């Protein structure tokens, strides 16, 4: 039995959704700028995507098809529970198909399949302030953003190279948006950074930190780097053991106590689609046999 | 080069009942280029005071002190600093230096201050130290640890490193042995020969008679008790 | 010669209490000025007003900017003033912890100002950082160590390197040798003197240590209860002080 009748559509009341939409519009008008908003208590703990959930709730309509992924996968706890949450509170259609979805809420990944105009990608953000670990004073970081004083961001990259010989930051890699604001892309792997210049709308919600920011379609997103240490979108140097893809971001899976490992696509929909098309990796079996 | 008119000086001791101690009134002095004038008078008569006023170290209460056209009694600090850098040298009885700076660089500093090349300045410093018989092994050390006589000679070398058009010498031959005294006197003679105007205080009468052209008794400028 | 800094009637009040009152002076390029006075005399308040860290209640601080000549730094826009703070001005704090990023390596600390003005070549930034560490007598192999692993004297020298790397024209120093051992102080003073001469720096040094100003400053300003009571050539003020307070200050120094 659906219980949607007992909640307002998508859980939040209409006034709250209006407040969030206003923040989203402001965010879209000033790409990369962190807009404060009155984040609500949600029926899930902070760190489980309360920011993303509120943004999704403010965007959902009854006609939407929702996809939720966590680290690229549709079937992990966080993804499953958020999907169920909206099924119950908004009664919206859900899908695992990236192309079919109208709104995708994600934690830590951008889908491999290129997104199209009309789609919305909602990110769950733990710490929206890219300067936080270098300058703990929020008053000061806000001033640095407003005055475009971003030298400190490069100090972090400098420290990386000094310590590791290369820029070792591999996720939450800072970007400069439309030549103005430096932004934390949430903890996506830096492999995903180039994908942020996309046709879909990207919305970022940080629930505990009460900040929303956004990228309109086709916004310039440049990963910070040094002339002599240019940005590189890196991934494990393997191909997917199941579908054989060499262009997707891979998870390393330990398969026994001897340390045997395999690499598989972190984007489960992408992997399944390829396998359905007949692609087979080194350790994979054709999809039909597997099902049989 | 140096023209002093109607110079006046008194000390006000604010913390000792504001006692006012007049030490000089109507001071006059005129020194031409190439001339050496000795200040004489009993101890406490105001020889050092006059010399310090010429250098801008003591503030004059009245009158004028023209050095190369600049009135030290009224000049801005930066004008006096420029004067000290370019025109007016002072060899005091005491050496005051930054710890840790080598003797060679202490002597070379006045040349560096007027923009000389480092190596040129050090060459000049080496020549002077050698002439004043400072052993070469000491050149790299700070003079703060030297004996009184050695410090005095380093001070003299520093004072003569740059060819100042005007020089103030406070007891330059005190605490020197005969050999070094001779070196200092010939340095003074050479400075005169190149046209320097020199004001000196010499207790060493023989030295005074040898290098000085005139004597000025500062006792004449001691204020009479009213 | 154009002055580098022209201070006109700076006032700062803390409620009814005077921070500093009617302070005016002119600083020329290459000059080093000392400000002395006891604790609470207003010397640090004045320094902070001059360096744009505190907003004065009245007066002007005219600075000879590279682009537009003499300009009042009190009324200029904040971004402009902060830009000066990263380029033409430097501020050396008494406590190096206030002027350094303790969680960032020595090289990163020195490189920050370069990166703040747009340097984006890692090799160049690091090369300059190593060069500056050498100039302040910190060995090259310490470039990747954090300042927390440095002694107090090294931290202070690192702070100086970090400040001077962009070739500022005016350096504000607040008790730069305070809290250091005497032997470490001497080394720092010697270093500062050398840098001031080599780079043709102008500096304003606040201290209560008369020995420090005698060695570093050309000119001296004596403050008491927020007012300037005496100014002049450093050696003249120290050897022939005119004001009652300066006489007291000079006679209070312990002789060694």
- Residue in B81, B96, B98 closest to C218 by CB: B81
Q: pLDDT tens, A176-200?
A: 999 999 999 999 999 999 999 999 9
The answer as to whether A288 is a domain residue is: no
Q: Please name the residue that has the structure tokens 């010499």.
A: B202
Indicate the pLDDT class of residue A282, thresholds 50, 70 and 90.
confident
A24/A76 same-domain check: yes
State which of A202, A223, A244 marks the end of a domain: A223
A184/A276 same-domain check: no
Q: What is the CATH number of the domain that holds A73?
A: 3.40.50.11310
Q: For the residues C158-169, what does the mean pLDDT come to?
A: 93
pLDDT at A289: 55
pLDDT at A4: 47
The answer as to whether A141 is a domain residue is: yes
User: Is A218 an interface residue toward C (CB < 8 Å)?
Assistant: no
Question: Which structural domain range is residue A83 located in?
Answer: 4-223
Residue B6 tokens, joined: 């109607």
The answer as to whether A229 is a domain residue is: no
Cβ contact C236–B57 (<8 Å): yes
Residue C207 tokens, joined: 């201290």
Q: How far is C192 from chain B (nearest CA, A)?
A: 11
Cβ contact C219–B78 (<8 Å): yes
Which chain C residues touch B52 with a CB distance below 8 Å? 239-240
Cβ contact B58–C190 (<8 Å): no
Domain positions in chain C are 1-44+57-88+170-175+203-256, 96-168
A109/A216 same-domain check: yes
Distance CA B177, CA B182 (A): 9
Q: pLDDT tens, C213-222?
A: 988 899 999 9
Residue A24 tokens, joined: 């989203």
User: Is A168 an interface residue toward C (CB < 8 Å)?
Assistant: no
A212/A246 same-domain check: no
- Counting as contact any 3 or more CB pairs under 8 A, the partners of A are C
Q: How far is C106 from chain A (nearest CA, A)?
A: 10
Q: pLDDT tens, A196-254?
A: 999 999 999 999 999 999 999 999 999 999 999 999 999 889 999 999 999 999 999 99
Angle at A149 between CA A143 and CA A151, to 5 degrees: 135
pLDDT at C256: 57
Distance CA A112, CA A247 (A): 9
- pLDDT at position A288 over 70: no
Residues sharing a CB contact under 8 Å with residue B86, sequence separation 6 or more, in sequence order: B114
A139/A210 same-domain check: yes
CATH architecture of C1-44+57-88+170-175+203-256: 3-Layer(aba) Sandwich (3.40)
Domains and CATH numbers, chain B: 31-45+75-220 (3.40.50.300)
User: Is A257 an interface residue toward C (CB < 8 Å)?
Assistant: no
A244/A207 same-domain check: no
A252/A272 same-domain check: yes
| Domain count across chain A | 2
DSSP state of A149: -
- Counting as contact any 3 or more CB pairs under 8 A, the partners of C are A, B
Distance CA A35, CA A183 (A): 12
Q: pLDDT tens, B82-129?
A: 999 999 999 988 887 777 789 999 999 999 889 889 999 999 999 999
The answer as to whether A108 is a domain residue is: yes
Residues β-bridged to residue C53:
none
Helix or strand holding residue B199 (H, E): strand B197-201
A125/A163 same-domain check: yes
Which chain A residues touch C143 with a CB distance below 8 Å? 162
Distance CA A270, CA A113 (A): 7
The answer as to whether A60 is a domain residue is: yes
Which chain B residues touch C239 with a CB distance below 8 Å? 52, 57-58
- pLDDT at position C196 over 90: no
The answer as to whether A228 is a domain residue is: no
Indicate the pLDDT class of residue A68, thresholds 50, 70 and 90.
very high
Q: How far is B141 from chain C (nearest CA, A)?
A: 14
The backbone torsions φ and ψ at residue C168, rounded to the nearest 5 degrees and listed phi first, read -70, 165
Cβ contact C189–B58 (<8 Å): no
- Residue in A134, A161, A163 closest to C122 by CB: A161
Chain C residues with at least one Cβ partner in B under 8 Å:
28, 31, 186-187, 189-190, 193, 197, 214-215, 218-219, 231-233, 235-236, 239-240, 242-244, 247-248, 251
- pLDDT at position B225 over 70: no
Q: Alpha helices, DSSP H only, in C103-255?
A: 106-116, 122-135, 152-164, 182-199, 210-216, 234-239, 244-251
- pLDDT at position A37 over 70: yes
State which of A223, A243, A275 marks the end of a domain: A223
Cβ contact C233–B77 (<8 Å): yes
Average per-residue pLDDT for chain C: 92
Cβ contact C144–A162 (<8 Å): yes
- Counting as contact any 3 or more CB pairs under 8 A, the partners of B are C
Distance CA B38, CA C104 (A): 63
Cβ contact A163–C108 (<8 Å): no
pLDDT at A9: 95
Active site (catalytic) residues of A: 32, 240, 243, 265, 271
The answer as to whether A264 is a domain residue is: yes
The backbone torsions φ and ψ at residue B192, rounded to the nearest 5 degrees and listed phi first, read -60, -45
Which chain C residues touch A163 with a CB distance below 8 Å? 105, 144
Chains A and C in direct contact, meaning 3 or more beta-carbon pairs closer than 8 angstroms: yes
Helix or strand holding residue A204 (H, E): strand A201-206
Q: For the residues A115-144, what does the mean pLDDT come to?
A: 94
Indicate the pLDDT class of residue B226, thresholds 50, 70 and 90.
very low
Cβ contact C108–A159 (<8 Å): yes
Distance CA B152, CA B103 (A): 12
- Residue in B58, B80, B100 closest to C240 by CB: B58
Return the minimum-mean-pLDDT range out of B14-28, B62-76, C53-67.
Answer: B14-28
The answer as to whether A292 is a domain residue is: no
Q: pLDDT tens, B24-43?
A: 999 999 999 999 999 998 88
Which chain C residues touch A229 with a CB distance below 8 Å? 122
pLDDT at C255: 65
Q: pLDDT tens, B173-197?
A: 888 899 999 999 999 999 999 999 9
To test the contact with chain C by mutation, choose from A158, A164, A169 the residue with the greatest count of C C-beta atoms within 10 A, namely A158
User: Is B141 an interface residue toward C (CB < 8 Å)?
Assistant: no
Q: pLDDT tens, A9-35?
A: 999 999 999 999 999 999 999 999 999
pLDDT at B153: 93
């Amino acid at each position: 039995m659906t219980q949607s009748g007992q909640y307002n559509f998508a859980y939040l009341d209409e006034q709250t959704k209006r407040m969030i939409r206003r923040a989203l519009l402001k965010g879209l008008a000033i790409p990369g700028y962190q807009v404060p908003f009155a984040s609500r208590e949600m029926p899930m703990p902070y760190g489980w995507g309360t920011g993303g959930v509120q943004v999704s709730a403010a965007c959902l309509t009854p006609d939407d098809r929702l996809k939720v992924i966590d680290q690229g996968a549709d079937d992990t706890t966080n993804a499953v529970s958020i999907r169920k949450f909206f099924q119950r509170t908004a009664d919206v259609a859900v899908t695992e198909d990236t192309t079919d979805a109208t709104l995708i809420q994600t934690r830590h990944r951008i889908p491999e399949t290129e997104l199209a105009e009309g789609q919305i990608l909602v990110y769950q953000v733990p710490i929206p302030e890219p300067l936080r670990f270098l300058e703990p004073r929020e008053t000061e970081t806000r001033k640095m953003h407003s005055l475009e004083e971003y030298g400190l961001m490069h100090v972090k990259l400098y420290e990386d190279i000094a310590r590791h010989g290369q820029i070792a930051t591999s996720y939450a890699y800072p970007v400069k948006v439309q030549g103005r604001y430096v932004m934390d892309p949430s903890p996506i792997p830096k492999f995903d950074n180039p994908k942020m210049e996309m046709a879909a709308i990207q919305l970022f919600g940080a629930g505990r930190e009460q900040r929303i920011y956004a990228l309109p379609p086709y916004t310039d997103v440049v990963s910070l780097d040094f002339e002599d240490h240019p940005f590189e979108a890196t991934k494990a140097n393997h191909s997917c053991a199941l579908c054989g893809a060499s262009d997707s971001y891979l998870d390393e899976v330990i398969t026994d106590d001897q340390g045997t490992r395999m690499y598989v696509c972190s984007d489960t929909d992408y992997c399944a689609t390829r396998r359905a098309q007949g692609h087979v990796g080194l350790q994979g079996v054709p999809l039909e046999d597997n099902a049989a | 080069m140096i023209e002093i008119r109607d110079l006046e000086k008194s000390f006000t001791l604010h913390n000792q009942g504001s006692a006012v101690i007049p030490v000089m009134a109507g001071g006059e002095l005129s020194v031409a280029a190439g001339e050496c004038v000795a200040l004489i008078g009993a101890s406490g008569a105001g020889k050092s005071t006059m010399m310090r006023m010429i250098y801008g170290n003591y503030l004059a209460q009245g009158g004028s002190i023209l050095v190369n056209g600049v009135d030290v009694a009224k000049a801005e600090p930066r004008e006096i600093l420029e004067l000290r850098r370019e025109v007016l040298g002072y060899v005091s009885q005491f050496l005051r230096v930054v710890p840790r700076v080598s003797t060679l660089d202490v002597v070379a500093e006045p040349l560096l201050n007027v923009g000389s090349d480092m190596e040129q300045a050090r060459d000049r410093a080496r020549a002077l130290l050698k002439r004043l018989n400072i052993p070469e092994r000491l050149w790299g050390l700070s003079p703060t640890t030297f004996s009184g006589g050695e410090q005095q000679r380093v001070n003299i070398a520093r004072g003569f490193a740059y060819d100042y058009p005007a020089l103030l010498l406070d007891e330059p031959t005190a605490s020197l042995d005969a050999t070094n005294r001779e070196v200092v006197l010939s340095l003074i003679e050479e400075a005169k020969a190149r046209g320097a105007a020199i004001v000196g205080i010499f207790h060493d009468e023989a030295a005074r008679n040898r290098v000085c052209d005139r004597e000025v008794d500062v006792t004449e400028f001691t204020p009479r008790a009213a | 010669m154009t002055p580098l800094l022209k201070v006109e009637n700076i006032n700062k009040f803390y409620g009814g209490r005077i921070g500093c009152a009617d302070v005016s002076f002119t600083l020329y390029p290459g000059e080093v000025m000392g400000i002395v006075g006891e604790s609470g005399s207003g010397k640090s308040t004045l320094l902070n007003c001059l360096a744009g860290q505190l907003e004065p209640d009245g007066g002007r601080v005219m600075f000879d900017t590279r682009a537009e000549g003499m300009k009042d730094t009190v009324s200029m826009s904040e971004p402009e003033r902060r830009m000066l703070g990263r380029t033409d001005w430097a501020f050396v704090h008494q406590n190096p912890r206030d002027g350094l990023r303790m969680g960032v390596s020595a090289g990163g600390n020195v490189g920050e100002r370069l990166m703040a003005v747009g340097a984006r070549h890692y090799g160049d930034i690091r090369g300059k950082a190593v060069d500056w560490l050498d100039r302040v007598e910190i060995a090259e192999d310490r470039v990747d160590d954090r300042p927390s692993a440095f002694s107090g004297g090294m931290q202070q020298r690192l702070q100086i390197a970090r400040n001077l790397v962009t070739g500022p024209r005016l350096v504000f120093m607040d008790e730069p040798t305070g809290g250091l051992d005497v032997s470490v102080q001497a080394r720092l003073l010697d270093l500062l003197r050398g840098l001031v001469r080599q780079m043709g720096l102008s500096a304003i040094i606040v201290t209560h240590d008369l020995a420090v100003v005698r060695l570093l400053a050309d000119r001296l300003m004596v403050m008491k209860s927020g007012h300037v009571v005496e100014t002049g050539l450093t050696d003249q003020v120290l050897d022939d002080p005119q004001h009652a307070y300066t006489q007291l200050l000079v006679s209070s120094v312990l002789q060694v």
